[in-house]
Structure 1
Amino acid sequence: MLLKNLTRQLFAQLSRHLPRRLIQRDLMPDDNTVAHAQDVPASLSEACLKYARASEEQLYRDFQSHPEGLNAREVERALEQHGLNQIPAQKASPWWVHLWLCYRNPFNILLTILGIVSYSTEDLFAAGVIALMVVIATLLNFVQEARSTKAADTLKAMVSNTATVLRVVHESGENEFIEIPLDQLVPGDIVKLAAGDMIPADLRVIQARDLFVGQASLTGESLPVEKVAVSRDLSHNNPLECDTLCFMGTNVVSGTALAMIISTGGNTWFGQLAGRVTQQESEPNAFQKGISRVSWVLIRFMLVMTPVVLLINGFTKGDWWEAALFSLSVAVGLTPEMLPMIVTSTLARGAVKLSKQKVIVKHLDAIQNFGAMDILCTDKTGTLTQDRIVLETHTDILGAVSNHVLHTAWLNSHYQTGLKNLLDVAVLEGVDEDHARNAATRWQKVDEIPFDFERRRMSVVVSEQPEVHQLICKGALQEILNVCSQVRYGDEIVPLSESLLARIRRVTDDLNRQGLRVVAVATKFLPARGEDYGRVDESDLILEGYIAFLDPPKETTAPALKALKESGITVKILTGDSELVAAKVCREVGLEVGELVTGSEIENIPDEQLAALALRTTLFARLTPMHKERIVRLLRGEGHVVGFMGDGINDAPALRAADIGISVDGAVDIAREAADIILLEKSLMVLEQGVIEGRRTFANMLKYIKMTASSNFGNVFSVLVASAFLPFLPMLPLHLLIQNLLYDVSQVAIPFDNVDDEQIKKPQRWNPADLGRFMVFFGPISSIFDILTFCVMWWVFKANVPEAQTLFQSGWFVVGLLSQTLIVHMIRTRRIPFIQSRAAWPLMIMTLVVMVVGIGLPFSPLASYLQLQALPLSYFPWLIAILAGYMTLTQCVKGFYSRRYGWQ
């Protein structure tokens, strides 16, 4: 179902070196997304079918494995033979491929064409300057991407995924389950699977208990499929349909299993597919589309204005060759060739700064979405609360303390092997060691019915006496009541009547209002049997009582929520927990609940109504994973940038559906793989700091785009006016190239710039319409003072004949360069520059150096070669006056613009 996105991401890995998700956001398949057996070599299909039908003994023989697992020597030998468990797309591409990809952007290609044209017209200096600009931009991009790749790899290593594998770890031959990195797995290894695990390689199931696997990434099946140890149908010819095989890239939805690895890395089904699709381009994400739209706005502007400059100069001057060279230089000047480098540098710097805030960026492009986020959906447990569950009480159905209920719950938690749960840990810690040791001796485990998110309960079957089995079930109250027909009332077992049900509701509601999470415990005695137990056995149970847990709110939650609100982010709680518990926690942390909605209430609500409801509702309780995903998608459909923070398997659909998926280091594998951002600390305060850094990064990117757009627009307008009235060119092509080169050098420090507080208080997004309006407002300001400069040079300094054009061009060269450089400081802030808002020192130094060089060139030994001349001292008071007027008018227009349209 997700194969197209998976393969595109694989190419993105090769082209950008950055780790990518195996789990992507698109949830519905199209006709081209389903993997078939013919997509991989026939030999692999035959091998898979062979192992699907093989007996357990044959598997051990073929892979030289053992029921107790591989030892260190066997693992080393297997690694030498099969290599690391890595898909081919995870290998770094050669440096020359990386260099080509850094060069390959619209601006560099356009400049290269212009450079070739300049060279063919024997304008060698122009060709040299253009080549220098392309080389600088490409090399800076190459170095920055290499550094960011190294940083990303280092950061990603901090959250690397692991698998639980059975290995012989002692010289005596003793074995145990250990956690190892995924790339250390080898064929023949026996791995343990539980709900939430990613399938780490291609596997043959050996033992399974209600194992359901989501194969959407390979087959397009929207529903999980059951996997078993002994095939129910041996007639399948497509390995993907075999019920005894699991494939890399899929995930365990529910149940538990032991499975043997039959292939790893590039030899897996997914690895073979990856090797066949590396030539497919990756689909651009929202950030890349935004950059592309802005880039093409600037390129189209250049493509329209350059011919206009050519025609005006050709007709007015009569020298079409000179006009062509000049228009060519204008085209170069209008090309924002530093945009790729600025964007990459800013994002990479943002990622490094975020890492210091305990936020790991898996994909650089996610930083902009982080800053644009205006709605954050999150679970309650561990986010608002301490994620430190303690067993608060254990009672019978009427609320009286009951040790029998605690003992029964302990047996369930002790013998369950499915999804690890903080509630189980709290139950186990709530019983003293002597009692636990005694109970473990008396009771033996018979079977288990693992937890899943549809039933919301799990059961174990235990036995104290050989002829009798006891099924112990615990789970959410309503789900337990659905399968109970009796209750333990004192020392008696009585039918579950309406009056008892009402009393049960009152007792549990009272516990919930105290902020306690209530889990019901039920039992059933059965005659001993040799058959496996299943869900059908969870019927006619006896409700024993409840165990109640406390998860107190974090001290940092209330101030973090306040900070998020002040930052323009609306927080919505999407939880599967009880509405009473969730509401109490929300009130304790200062989150206004208002209208409360439960999962059952939204089942039959149309999307249009639910979208409106989601916008005004803060708390959704008793949600299923699909409910969470639906709410996130509808909020996005309303035009919001939605983040989702989750760490469980039940959060994975919503993580994929959100604009930005946020998970934590301790999350289950599938949640971490689906996320764009990984928090090393599960805290809203850390998240808020990350959002601010994301906005700061985006603000710096936007500065360069605004500066370039407005400056280019003003320059072209000035050139058109000058070309129409002057008897000579207002500036030589050589001057335009040098001016553009110096200006670009001053922009290199923008990623290190400071950002005003008001620019990071609200979410920020790409807005091409705002860019066009900004160009129209601020571009002509520089043209006004350019025309004023023309007048000063024409009438004051008498540079009004072709023989004096060098003086004219020198005067405008200095004014143009200094005004372009000063615009950096004017547009980087809505405040008064240098007084209310100062640029970072690297940007201050770079702009100062460029201004000094620009003023000094007409006086330098290079002046004659550059066709410039020294300016008279009387020129400089005019220069100061023109620049002061330019800055004053820009500040006035800036105030009007920001009041009317805002200042992003």
Structure 2
Amino acid sequence: MMFKNFTSRLLTALSRNLPRRLVRRDPMLENVPGRAAQAVPAAMAAHCQACARATEDQLYLQFASHPEGLTAQEADAIREVSGLNQTGDQQPAPWWLHLWHCYRNPFNLLLTVLGLVSYATDDLTAALVIGAMVFISTFMHFIQEARSNKAADALKAMVSNTATVLRSDAQNGRSETAEVAISQLVPGDLIKLSAGDMIPADLRILSAKDLFISQAALTGESLPVEKHAWEKKPIAADPLELNTLCFMGTNVVSGTAIAMVIATGSKTWFGQLAERVVQEDTQPNAFQAGISKVSWLLIRFMMVMTPVVLVINGYTKGDWWEAALFALSVAVGLTPEMLPMIVTSTLAKGAVKLSRQKVIVKRLDAIQNFGAMDILCTDKTGTLTQDKIVLERHTDVLGVTSDDVLHLAWLNSHYQTGLKNLLDVAVLEAGDASGAHNSLKVDEIPFDFDRRRMSVVVAENDQNHRLICKGALEEMLSICTLVQLNGEIVPLTDVLLGRIRRITDDLNQQGLRVVAVAHKVMPSRTQGYGVTDESSLILAGYIAFLDPPKESTAPALEALQRKGVTVKILTGDNPLVARKVCKDVGLRAETVLIGSDIDVLDDLQLLHVARETTVFAKLTPMHKERIVRVLRGEGHVVGFMGDGINDAPALRAADIGISVDSAVDIAKEAADIILLEKSLMVLEQGVTEGRRTFANMLKYIKMTASSNFGNVFSVLVASAFLPFLPMLPLHLLIQNLIYDVSQVAIPFDNVDEEQLAKPQRWNAGDIGRFMVFFGPISSVFDILTFSLMWWVFKANTVEAQTLFQSGWFIEGLLSQTLIVHMIRTRKVPFIQSRASWPLCIMTLMVVVTGIALIYSPVAGFLQLQALPLSYFPWLIAILAGYMVLTQCVKGWFVRRYGWQ
């Protein structure tokens, strides 16, 4: 059981370095039977129900708030009592608990047991060395994780989400809006909500308009739930069913609201669940699955070889106690105890380096997935294009310029209170505000991704209201029955419909994005308007937008292709526009698959089509998520880049979710990587750094696996023929300790360009094959060293065993250090590929330390002795032969199996 939990503990330790996402890739309650309410105390439910019943005045009194909002001073005072708005799993662990977690891995526990056994048998020297190994492993892991935590916190601060809060000015009593970090919210704060916002705390709605909340993270319900400022039914026993409450961890799908914070941090519904439910990832990502396989490969090898060493030494030497200690020492030598530290420091170094390239890493293990990514799915707008949309045309239905159409579009964009996108900004910049004073907003019907349109209702006089609607052409045509043509209102006939489609298709083929504008006049009324009122509209015309491709897009796509990354475009835009933009940037787009085509395909059929299709258009959020999932199901490592509400499901479904700092809250929370610059060229740099990070992690595992296998093979041969142990347990421990220290520099090593040219993924089978081929090479030269010490230097009796053991100690340490340079590259080391200066210095220190040790005053204490100078020419010849043979085998291995 101790070994079985190693992988999960390692990944848990890594995850402590990461900013926690409010919305997890897997819902928190996925493995919990029943609804979330069952895991929350009755007091919490009673608090929610009381807040739902309370009037606005009662809420202001209860939370010492005001209709204008809290002042900054009041908020600070409340925060002193309530604390930061952070759940328990977001709080940093105290240093002593962090230190315990760094120590508590199976490898350190094994070393501790061996140290206690040595101490109990009065072998104080061995106990001291083992204690030093445990201390160094734990301390270095602790330091690296502390530095990683600090770096991760600094990166997280660069992209932390904010909430729009009403702040009261104590001097003049007026209310102003301010963007406040979510962690700074306090009970009593009034916040504004709009589409795309995360719910940052538990809230009571004070006013709302068409507010729909996705509660899937808490309840598992896929459909959004409408929320109101009053209860439409009796107070429910389950607070999650209350109409007036919103809970941390959910998000706004559409609509607007003003709400009061009623609970923060661990006192929220989400925070209470976080303390009572153990989160288990049911579907590990590519990095987690890969490192689990590799760890188990090494553990299985250790568990098989250690008993073999025990039996052979016990049977041949007759001293089973000494054989047991030696076997345990071999087990320590086979154990990659530095793996947690190497993985943590390598990932942390990669995250800091990426931050200099304007790439912020929220989850450290996403770096390796970045490098392993072989398919990138991305939206079109702002990624391929400049994200600077310009209103190019405003015409009637026949394509003639029309100021009336522009005025209607301007009123629609001006009065909507939901999420204003770049199209609205372009309309407002191009339109004229002079006519706004003649109308008064009455109501609005917010945008959603099913209707793909939004409406506002304005009062032009006391008798009539005008509904103005704009949206995607097909969806608009489905609700229009009349057309405004040359100042007259005429029916929308099939002939006219065909003419409209030809005109708009021509605009699309020019790369213009077409939005239809329609309206109708209705008698004024007091009740609100809804989707049912969007019918029998009059089509007024179109507004057409130009979003030209970026100059950097074509070379970035070419660079990604050279790196082995296939780019697929997943957009909700018109297929003609998508094809035109892709053609302009050199992206193959002969066929375009649209959302309605996807609906009639099962997953297997969609997979076959998705393999060959580059451009997908007119997609809903669920279409994007489904495409990502079927590509992942085939074994691809899929990245998804998006910044809108409609991108959140696909961001969560991908191996690596990528968003930008200007994205909506829900997209940033769902992403693993945040780009401070929305550019594919930045992505290409991130992919390269991800592969460099992975390559350095893989070096350590290759070196450790092959070197350890060779050592064990040599031990088995020597144990079968020598009348004494080839090396004392203490010698093995010291050798392993010195070697482990040298590995600290691996995260800073250089990586050959060839290793950055294609996606890199964990492959336990390749590592096992590598271990079997390269491990025995060192054993060949170990056996030569045995022969040298036995016949040349006459260390062939029990009395001369110290000389024999000292000779193999030096040769084993130097060959183990040399293998670092041989295996770190497929090229000729030192000539075609040079290690970084930190790694060179560390390996040189190992050589100097090892040789100095046998000539130092402590040599006798360690049961070693000085070697004659005539030994070293032999040693140089053995090491030179080792290098030549390894290089020859490496060339054959690369031709036969490749080099990861």
TM-score (structure 2 length as normaliser): 0.96
- Per-residue deviation, 1:729: 1.8
- Per-residue deviation, 1:282: 6.7
**1:478 aligned partner:** 474
**2:453 aligned partner:** 457
Does residue 218 of structure 1 match 2:226?
no
2: CA distance, partners of 1:136 / 1:892? 36
2: CA distance, partners of 1:237 / 1:811? 78
- Per-residue deviation, 1:272: 2.2
Q: SS of the counterpart of 1:322?
A: helix
**1:180 aligned partner:** 180
Alignment of 1:648-667 (within 5 A): 648-667=644-663
Q: CA RMSD in A?
A: 1.9
Alignment of 1:237-252 (within 5 A): 237-252=237-252
1: CA distance, partners of 2:713 / 2:467? 83
1:785-838 superposed Cα distances (whole Å, 9 cap, x missing partner):
111111222222222222332222222111111110000000000000000000
Asked whether the equivalents of residues 14 and 364 of structure 2 are also in contact (C-alpha less than 8 Å), the reply is: no
**1:429 aligned partner:** 429
2: CA distance, partners of 1:401 / 1:378? 34
- Per-residue deviation, 1:595: 2.2
**2:320 aligned partner:** 320
**2:380 aligned partner:** 380
- Per-residue deviation, 1:604: 1.1
1: CA distance, partners of 2:94 / 2:375? 40
- Per-residue deviation, 1:19: 1.7
**2:845 aligned partner:** 849
1: CA distance, partners of 2:820 / 2:769? 18
Asked whether the equivalents of residues 749 and 842 of structure 1 are also in contact (C-alpha less than 8 Å), the reply is: yes
* Structure 1 stretch displaced more, 184-193 or 709-718: 184-193
Does residue 142 of structure 1 match 2:142?
yes
1:710 to 682, 692, 706: 706
Does residue 840 of structure 1 match 2:836?
yes
Does residue 786 of structure 1 match 2:750?
no
Does residue 719 of structure 1 match 2:725?
no
Asked whether the equivalents of residues 12 and 282 of structure 1 are also in contact (C-alpha less than 8 Å), the reply is: no
Asked whether the equivalents of residues 445 and 463 of structure 1 are also in contact (C-alpha less than 8 Å), the reply is: yes
2: CA distance, partners of 1:825 / 1:86? 46
Alignment of 1:120-519 (within 5 A): 120-169=120-169, 171-277=171-277, 285-286=284-285, 287-431=287-431, 435-436=432-433, 438-519=434-515
2: CA distance, partners of 1:480 / 1:473? 8
1:567 to 563, 568, 573: 563
**1:675 aligned partner:** 671
- Per-residue deviation, 1:902: 1.2
1: CA distance, partners of 2:270 / 2:725? 62
Which amino acid is the alignment partner of residue 806 of structure 2? S
- Per-residue deviation, 1:18: 2.8
1: CA distance, partners of 2:620 / 2:864? 73
Q: SS of the counterpart of 2:20?
A: coil
Does residue 54 of structure 1 match 2:54?
yes
- Which residues of structure 1 form unaligned runs of 5+? 1-7
- Per-residue deviation, 1:551: 0.8
Q: SS of the counterpart of 1:213?
A: strand
**2:64 aligned partner:** 64
Does residue 701 of structure 1 match 2:701?
no
- Per-residue deviation, 1:187: 2.5
Which amino acid is the alignment partner of residue 503 of structure 2? V
1: CA distance, partners of 2:616 / 2:280? 39
Q: SS of the counterpart of 1:130?
A: helix
- Per-residue deviation, 1:53: 2.6
- Per-residue deviation, 1:217: 1.3
**1:766 aligned partner:** 762
1:882 to 870, 873, 878: 878
1:252-307 superposed Cα distances (whole Å, 9 cap, x missing partner):
11111222222222222222222334x66677843334323322322222222122
> Percent identity over the alignment?
73
Distance 1:628 1:282, change over 3 A: closer
Asked whether the equivalents of residues 746 and 847 of structure 1 are also in contact (C-alpha less than 8 Å), the reply is: yes
Q: SS of the counterpart of 1:167?
A: strand
Q: SS of the counterpart of 1:749?
A: helix
- Per-residue deviation, 1:89: 2.6
2: CA distance, partners of 1:706 / 1:13? 22
- Per-residue deviation, 1:38: 4.0
1:396-452 superposed Cα distances (whole Å, 9 cap, x missing partner):
111111111101100000100001211111001002xxx41x212111111111111
1:564-599 superposed Cα distances (whole Å, 9 cap, x missing partner):
111111110000011111111111111111321001
Distance 1:12 1:879, change over 3 A: closer
2:632 to 633, 636, 639: 636
Q: SS of the counterpart of 1:605?
A: coil
2: CA distance, partners of 1:284 / 1:776? 31
**1:732 aligned partner:** 728
Which amino acid is the alignment partner of residue 419 of structure 1? L
Q: SS of the counterpart of 1:387?
A: coil
**1:4 aligned partner:** none
Asked whether the equivalents of residues 314 and 323 of structure 1 are also in contact (C-alpha less than 8 Å), the reply is: yes
Asked whether the equivalents of residues 15 and 101 of structure 1 are also in contact (C-alpha less than 8 Å), the reply is: no
1:595 to 558, 579, 591: 591
1: CA distance, partners of 2:107 / 2:29? 36
1:545-580 superposed Cα distances (whole Å, 9 cap, x missing partner):
111111111111111111111111111000001111
- Per-residue deviation, 1:13: 9.7
Asked whether the equivalents of residues 350 and 689 of structure 2 are also in contact (C-alpha less than 8 Å), the reply is: yes
Distance 1:704 1:384, change over 3 A: same
Distance 1:86 1:31, change over 3 A: closer
- Per-residue deviation, 1:27: 6.5
Asked whether the equivalents of residues 396 and 402 of structure 2 are also in contact (C-alpha less than 8 Å), the reply is: yes
Which amino acid is the alignment partner of residue 685 of structure 2? Q
Alignment of 1:609-620 (within 5 A): 609-620=605-616
Alignment of 1:573-588 (within 5 A): 573-588=569-584
Which amino acid is the alignment partner of residue 554 of structure 1? K
Asked whether the equivalents of residues 28 and 217 of structure 2 are also in contact (C-alpha less than 8 Å), the reply is: no
**2:85 aligned partner:** 85
2:826 to 824, 830, 833: 830
Does residue 812 of structure 1 match 2:842?
no
Which amino acid is the alignment partner of residue 147 of structure 1? R
- Per-residue deviation, 1:31: 6.3
Asked whether the equivalents of residues 29 and 36 of structure 2 are also in contact (C-alpha less than 8 Å), the reply is: no
**2:797 aligned partner:** 801
2: CA distance, partners of 1:570 / 1:508? 31
Which amino acid is the alignment partner of residue 292 of structure 1? S
2: CA distance, partners of 1:900 / 1:557? 37
Asked whether the equivalents of residues 290 and 761 of structure 2 are also in contact (C-alpha less than 8 Å), the reply is: no
Which amino acid is the alignment partner of residue 403 of structure 1? D
Q: SS of the counterpart of 1:465?
A: coil
2:601 to 605, 619, 629: 605
1:615-645 superposed Cα distances (whole Å, 9 cap, x missing partner):
1111000000000000000000000010111
**1:3 aligned partner:** none
2: CA distance, partners of 1:283 / 1:796? 60
Asked whether the equivalents of residues 249 and 270 of structure 1 are also in contact (C-alpha less than 8 Å), the reply is: yes
* Structure 1 stretch displaced more, 344-353 or 117-126: 117-126
Q: How many residues align?
A: 891
1: CA distance, partners of 2:877 / 2:195? 72
2: CA distance, partners of 1:68 / 1:733? 74
Q: SS of the counterpart of 1:254?
A: strand
* Structure 1 stretch displaced more, 302-311 or 774-783: 302-311
1: CA distance, partners of 2:574 / 2:15? 46
- Per-residue deviation, 1:171: 2.1
Asked whether the equivalents of residues 640 and 656 of structure 2 are also in contact (C-alpha less than 8 Å), the reply is: yes
